[in-house]
Structure 1
């Protein structure tokens, strides 16, 4: 391992409940009723990709841009209002990776403004040598683009990177990028198939750094 790449939602911050809540609220605001089960298949995808699919499925009149404008404003409001802390073990993992002089990147499907809000809230921005949003590459997860761009920015071959993910779409993206992947079982991320991951852990502290 020559670099470590984090997903963010469900890995650094336990934000999937926020996303589910606001996405369901957004649908209700627009006149549609959905459940968390309806939304779990979109975990790990970018907002534009998710809403393009939902808009077609439900025959929504609003544009993707109009939907995201409401949704993102509400998500940032909720992020600032709720009492979030980093997921248990994340700060220790970041510190150990830094101690080992391993470059660290973040590759998230969230828009950059949300990423920056999270990292600023936890005061951990300086740990990351590269930050890439899935909205800044041609295709979001499960395509590998966001992970390949993170590796490029770090100057490391994809095969030398290890990724930490909590979603099916994210694991697929990491493996399609040619990287090794740790699947973190986060019960708040819904029913996620992490079977393609090289390792699966139930706690961040269980990540086998010595084997990487």
Structure 2
């Protein structure tokens, strides 16, 4: 019986990617570095720290990683606060409330910083639905490394065999599978260029997923 659903945040609960993209590329311009679309896409699911650690090595940046993180966060926060049309992804609020009302434990496991997670949760009043919030900034390695999901599963009221992960990125799905957790791939219009083929189940809209469907995944888990 599925007792815990572990949610990714960006691309699953809310699409802050356009804001992140704006902040990153504004900073890339400031740093005078040419980050290609292919390189930027490959960073999906990575924490800000890991991204700047990689960029520092690739472009031989003289700035400290911590200073780079703080600058990106400042640009992001200014843009986030001014973006009035930021909304939860269609259908996800209904799913979160339905699962919560039926006694399913909800845990967030996001590569986003604690500050960004808090801004999203406060803006959309999500705190009451989630028992735990796990940020990628607490882990030295980002997705596809399984550490963040292994930790999230350790916070579950049930063994990881009774957990599922909802992810929209290639790296996130690989992290879930590496952690040994059943993964639902969300084929979001905001997650272009992501390979969901390693997910156990793929959905195109959250109306395909509810409490009953989550419970039926118990049989898929046993046969997986």
TM-score of the pair, normalised by structure 1: 0.94
What displacement does 1:38 show? 2.7
CA distance, structure 2, for counterparts of residue 195 and residue 50 of structure 1: 24
Deviation digits for residues 137-194 of structure 1, max 9, x if unmatched? 3432111111111121223212211111011110011111111111111232331111
Distance (Å, rounded) in 2 between the aligned partners of 1:29 and 1:35: 15
SS in 1 for 2:155: helix
Equivalent position SS for 2:5: strand
Displacement of 1:134: 1.1
Map of 2:220 onto structure 1: none
Query: What is the CA distance between 1:26 and its match in structure 2?
Result: 1.0
Q: Return 5+ residue gaps in structure 2 as ranges.
A: 218-224
In 1, Cα distance between the equivalents of 2:45 and 2:99? 24
Q: Could you list the runs of 5+ residues in structure 1 that have no partner in the other structure?
A: none
**Which residue number corresponds to residue 222 of structure 2?**
none
Q: Which residue of 1 aligns with 2:42?
A: 41
1:144, 1:159 → 2: CA distance? Answer: 15
What is the Cα deviation at residue 120 of structure 1?
A: 0.6
Instruction: Report the alpha carbon displacement of residue 204 of structure 1 after superposing the two structures with TM.
Output: 1.6
Cα distance in 1 for partners of 2:159, 2:203 equals 25
**Alpha-carbon distance between aligned partners in 2 of 1:24 and 1:188, rounded to the nearest angstrom:** 18
Please name the residue that 1:209 is paired with: 214
Alignment: residue pair count = 212
Distance in 2 separating the partners of 1:189 and 1:178: 23
Q: TM-score scaled by structure 2? A: 0.90
Q: Distance in 1 between matches of 2:172 and 2:200?
A: 13
Aligned counterpart for 2:110 among listed residues 95, 108, 111: 108
